[in-house]
Structure 1
Amino acid sequence: MAILTEKVGMTNEDLKKIRSMRPGQQIDLQVTTASTTKRVRTEFVGIDGTRSLIIKYPDESKWGGLGEAIFKDKSLVMRYILEDETGVIIAFKVNVVLVLTKPSHLIFTSFPLAIQSHDLRSEGRAQTRIATKLTDSKIGEEICEAIVIDISVHGCRIQVDKKYLSNKLKLREVINLEFTNDADNKVQLVGIIMNFKYDEVNFYCGIKFETDEAIVDQLLKNLMLTTG
């Protein structure tokens, strides 16, 4: 997503999106030099009120020298995925205020004046707090209990407390999700882990359903997440 226009002014909802970033979160940084524009990955470190954002200096052993692209007063474009709740990508421009080399290599930037957002999903998802149990689809062994925080007929996002997850979930791993409705009937869906991230307390996994849409739709109706 390109930054096309700059509309100055942050709403309370915009501020909430900025403040949703957590230390350690992966961010995409678009930098420019006189000859090229490139995008690199780094980590968000922290925020100082509405004064500045702090990020790690990108690893130059991985992304190449960045001295001509990151320096005081240089403009940068930052992007990150607000995936846990809304499934949108957030983008905004900032200026470099300070590059610190000791005791850590950090970049301090200005606070954004405006943001842009783009929905990553082609469909809406119901926001919810449904309990589910994850099991290994191959051997049927229980992995952990989890909370579904959003769901549609094509997939869902789950939240797992770190202390209850002894084995890390893996990308492309096939798992079963077991649900129990009000009539105490159990329904099992099959899904593939497509992405994951974590904060200090929880793991969050994006799951694509492999189960027939009609079965998922009926489950959502039983859970009163859809009508009809």
Structure 2
Amino acid sequence: MLKTEVAGSKAHLNKIVAGSLIDVEILMPATSKRVKTEFVGLLEGQFIVLNHPNPKRLGAALDYIKEGAQVIVRALLEQSGGQIIAFKAHIKSVTVHPARLIFIHFPESVQLIKLRNHTRIPTLIPATFCIPNYNTLGVIKDISLKGLQLHVQEPHVPEDLKETLCSIKLTGKDEEHITLQGQVCSIKQESVTTHLGIKLLCEQSKIENVLKDYLIDLSVIELTEVV
């Protein structure tokens, strides 16, 4: 479950770090398009500045990045205990010189969404599962502040893995090598894939850094109407 707080104060916007990745949803008449871009900064009470996403990733949504269009912005706040900030606003203007930037109006209100410890967020993060004398490549299919689900493309894994201490190795921002310590708590074999449920034993701040680096797919975070 997610815990949501509608915050009357916009001071929380100052917690979004310049240069950090954010999730932008461009609202269109019949659908919407979600892309990742960078948060540039803000002028208190006037506007927020975002880097213009790569046009090749926008498709038909490119025509809707214009004055008056509505967007939803979501960002994971650093050192916030897994809080996501989300708000809805209209585009104020778009510039092409000296840089392609999107200016959006300051929102009327924002929402703070707290990821509970067991909230599972879907991902597709390549990772290596490691125990003494054995390692295999896999994909982290979902992650929470307390655990993750790792799928490995092997029909058979070493016996008696349950309760075994392990390491999950992945590459973060700027090619930084990250190691998460954990313990295997469940094993499910399905055709040529083995699903490993892993309880994370490392510091929560380290897990939050993974969430931030990969800007975990926030499509599970729905923004209710804000006025």
TM-score, L = length of structure 2: 0.52
Q: Which moved further from structure 2: 115-124 or 57-66? A: 115-124
**Matched residue, 1:192:** 168
**Is 1:63 matched up with 2:58?**
yes
Higher-Rg member (1/2): 1
* 2:68 equivalent among 64, 67, 73: 73
- Give 2:183's aligned amino acid: E
**Matched residue, 2:183:** 210
User: Secondary structure of the residue that 1:97 maps to in structure 2?
Assistant: strand
The runs of 5 or more residues in structure 2 that have no matched partner are: 120-129, 134-144, 149-164, 186-197, 204-227
**Is 1:18 matched up with 2:17?**
no
User: Secondary structure of the residue that 1:103 maps to in structure 2?
Assistant: coil
Shift of 1:193: 4.9
1:97-176 counterparts in 2 under 5 A? 97-122=92-117
**RCO (CA 8 Å, sep 6+): is it higher in 1 or 2?**
2
**Cα distance change of structure 1 residues 191 and 33 upon mapping to structure 2, 3 Å threshold:** same
Shift of 1:8: 7.9
The runs of 5 or more residues in structure 1 that have no matched partner are: 125-135, 140-151, 156-188, 220-228
**Matched residue, 1:9:** 8
Contact persistence 2:168–2:181 (CA under 8 A): yes
User: Secondary structure of the residue that 1:62 maps to in structure 2?
Assistant: helix
Computed over aligned residues only, the root mean square deviation of the Cα atoms, in angstroms, reads 4.2
TM-score, L = length of structure 1: 0.52
User: Secondary structure of the residue that 1:102 maps to in structure 2?
Assistant: coil
**Is 1:46 matched up with 2:22?**
no
The CA distance in 2 between the partners of 1:195 and 1:84, in whole Å, is 20
- Give 1:25's aligned amino acid: S
**Cα distance change of structure 1 residues 123 and 66 upon mapping to structure 2, 3 Å threshold:** closer
The CA distance in 2 between the partners of 1:34 and 1:208, in whole Å, is 45
Shift of 1:52: 1.2
Shift of 1:68: 2.8
The CA distance in 1 between the partners of 2:115 and 2:167, in whole Å, is 19
**Matched residue, 1:92:** 87
**Cα distance change of structure 1 residues 29 and 120 upon mapping to structure 2, 3 Å threshold:** same
**Cα distance change of structure 1 residues 193 and 111 upon mapping to structure 2, 3 Å threshold:** farther
Contact persistence 1:197–1:205 (CA under 8 A): no
State the aligned residue count: 152
CA-to-aligned-CA distance 1:166-190 (integer Å, 9 cap, x gap): xxxxxxxxxxxxxxxxxxxxxxx85
Shift of 1:25: 0.9
Contact persistence 1:42–1:58 (CA under 8 A): yes
The CA distance in 2 between the partners of 1:46 and 1:153, in whole Å, is 32
* 2:32 equivalent among 24, 31, 37: 37
The CA distance in 1 between the partners of 2:146 and 2:35, in whole Å, is 34
Contact persistence 1:191–1:209 (CA under 8 A): yes
- Give 1:60's aligned amino acid: P
- Give 2:109's aligned amino acid: A
